[in-house]
Amino acid sequence: MAVIYADANNFKDNISTGLVLVDFYADWCGPCKMIAPVLDQLSTEMTDVKIVKVNVDNVPQVAQQYQVMSIPTLILFKDGENVAQTMGFQSKEMLTTWINKNK
C-alpha cells in the first residue's frame, strides 16, 4: 500500500479504520528524511498497516491536537484510537517489532 499524505481535511478519515501508522514529519528534519525509506519499505511489507504522513509545517493543527513536540513522532492508531507513540528515528526492525507488539 502506498504512503498517504494527509491534511487537516482528510486526517480523521485516514485513521478511522484499521491499523494506521502516522508519521509526523517536516521536510527540513534530518531524522525524518532518514526514516522515510523505512516507512516506504513497511508500506509494501506490512500490508495490514496503512502509513500516513503529516507535515507539521503544513498541518500544524493536527500535530498540536496530538501534542507532537518533536519530530519525527510516530503514532499508531487502531480504529481511530491512539494505541502507541514513539519519537525519533527507528530502524525497520524496531518499527516492525513495535507495531506487532501494539496490534
Positions annotated as catalytic residues are 29, 32
Sign of CA dihedral 65, 89, 27, 15: negative
Asked whether 86 and 35 are in contact (CB, 8 A), the reply is no
Angle between helices 30-45 and 92-101 (to 10 degrees): 60
